Structure 1
Amino acid sequence: MKQPVGVILAGGQATRMGGGDKGRLMLGERSILGHVIDRMTPQVADIALNANGEAGRFADINLPVVADSVTGYAGPLAGVLAGLDWAGELGADAIVTAAADTPFFPCDLVPQLLMAAEDRRHCLALAASQAADGKLWRQPTFGLWPVSLRNDLRDALQTGLRKVVLWTDKHDAGQAVFTHDGLDPFFNVNTPEDLAEARRLAGETTK
């Protein structure tokens, strides 16, 4: 299989942050989105940003911007579909998605997802984080998605499906588990309090 392309999901409404593009909030000397791009770039062949509204507001990051094709706010699966359609035009086999508000996600996300999908019917896998106490949390915005299933996903969205794991479980998705003892690598910035915590962590873990 060809090296996957990356799609950063920034199509959410950010209601708990007061709206706007929370990926644009600063974390150290770069925006949160900048940190996400830095972590994604070495792992994929190309990157696009999934975002809705005026695409020109992202002109400075020099990435293609792909909007949801499903009307209304249909959640992250709509962003996955937009990314799959973009990847299909490139001739790519698969995409890897990452959330635009998660600046500390693993630098080995892509190889771990690829390994998790090796023995599955489709090149499909989701990430999960596991704390020292054994609790496991699936991370549905971080996944490996095959372009070959994009029309199946399109049909599912048109019937009203919105929950990621209902679709991925139906297709026997693999699971890449990332263990941690403290900072969850998929920590995301949803609230002003989360932003304050991310800034504290950035001083320790991000340069």
Structure 2
Amino acid sequence: MKDNNILAVVLAGGKSKRFGEDKNQTKLGDKTLLEHVLLKISNRYEEILIVSSHSIDTKKIKNVTIIPDCFDDFGPLAGVLSAMKWVKENQKSYQWIATYPSDTPFFETSIIDEYQKRIKLKDSLLYFVKSNNKRHNIFGLWSIELLKPLENDLINNNFRKVEDWANKIGVKTIDIEPKKFDPFFNINTKEDLEEAKKILKKY
């Protein structure tokens, strides 16, 4: 079931310094890392917004919009703010955005169902996924109500790290117990890519 109250946002604006080239277009099996993510979420959301200044091919996926970061070199928080501002500027009705990194191809889409449960609870404006006692700060569910405080903290208070800002605002976690391997394994280096190829064979 698609939830029209949530906009899916893929944060794909990283510089991939540790990887040495744009990770978004790197192949894992017969798909790019970005395609792995997009294909997983495309049937669960009405629209997908990609925040990136890179040149990206999304012809295989419908209802995708690509926008640049509203601030250069401000990190993922700027990507989140960019998505929220896009919602407001285009008079969309979304009250939440769900963020996904572009370099984590194995995550389970069951987290989307968990997001919908949290919205109904109304006990936080921000949620992050947690597995193996590690909080994944890019797998997040963010209320649009956070737009103004986020913009203020980026511009006036020099916040750049997602973790620091979330701790300041207050965040709850959605705990996921991995069955075999950590589905939130992300690819930062060429060595990680080789490990991902091994996982893909067993996936």
Q: Would the alpha carbon gap of residues 121 and 35 (structure 1) be closer, same or farther in structure 2, given more than 3 Å must change?
A: closer
In the alignment, the residues of structure 2 paired with residue 178 and residue 197 of structure 1 have an alpha-carbon distance, to the nearest angstrom, of 21
- Give CA-to-partner distance per residue, 1:39-75, whole Å, 9 cap, x none: 122332210111024x4x436356211111123x111
Q: Which amino acid aligns with 1:188?
A: N
Q: Would the alpha carbon gap of residues 68 and 200 (structure 1) be closer, same or farther in structure 2, given more than 3 Å must change?
A: same
The corresponding residue for 1:17 is: 19
- Give CA-to-partner distance per residue, 1:97-148, whole Å, 9 cap, x none: 00000001121122213434524242x2111112xxxxx1010111011112
The corresponding residue for 1:83 is: 83
Percent pairwise identity: 29
- Give CA-to-partner distance per residue, 1:9-43, whole Å, 9 cap, x none: 111110011132x0211111111111100112233
In the alignment, the residues of structure 2 paired with residue 42 and residue 81 of structure 1 have an alpha-carbon distance, to the nearest angstrom, of 24
The answer to whether the 8 A contact 2:124-2:172 is kept is no
- SS of corresponding position for 2:87: helix
The answer to whether the 8 A contact 1:105-1:186 is kept is yes
In the alignment, the residues of structure 1 paired with residue 36 and residue 58 of structure 2 have an alpha-carbon distance, to the nearest angstrom, of 17
The corresponding residue for 2:185 is: 187
Q: Which amino acid aligns with 2:16?
A: A
In the alignment, the residues of structure 1 paired with residue 122 and residue 47 of structure 2 have an alpha-carbon distance, to the nearest angstrom, of 25
Q: Does 1:168 align with 2:166?
A: yes
Q: Does 1:65 align with 2:98?
A: no
Q: Does 1:28 align with 2:25?
A: no
* Deviation of 1:94 (Å): 1.0
Q: Which amino acid aligns with 1:58?
A: D
In the alignment, the residues of structure 1 paired with residue 140 and residue 173 of structure 2 have an alpha-carbon distance, to the nearest angstrom, of 9
Gapped regions of structure 2 (runs ≥ 5): none
In the alignment, the residues of structure 1 paired with residue 83 and residue 57 of structure 2 have an alpha-carbon distance, to the nearest angstrom, of 17
TM-score, with normalisation over the residues of structure 2? 0.87
The answer to whether the 8 A contact 1:87-1:94 is kept is no
TM-score, with normalisation over the residues of structure 1? 0.86
Number of equivalences: 195
- SS of corresponding position for 2:170: coil
58, 80, 93: which one aligns with 2:95: 93
The corresponding residue for 1:133 is: none
Q: Equivalent residues in 2 for 1:148-163 (5 A)?
A: 148-158=145-155, 159-163=157-161
The answer to whether the 8 A contact 1:116-1:174 is kept is no
- SS of corresponding position for 2:24: helix
The answer to whether the 8 A contact 2:128-2:173 is kept is yes
Q: Cα RMSD between the aligned structures?
A: 1.9
Gapped regions of structure 1 (runs ≥ 5): 131-135
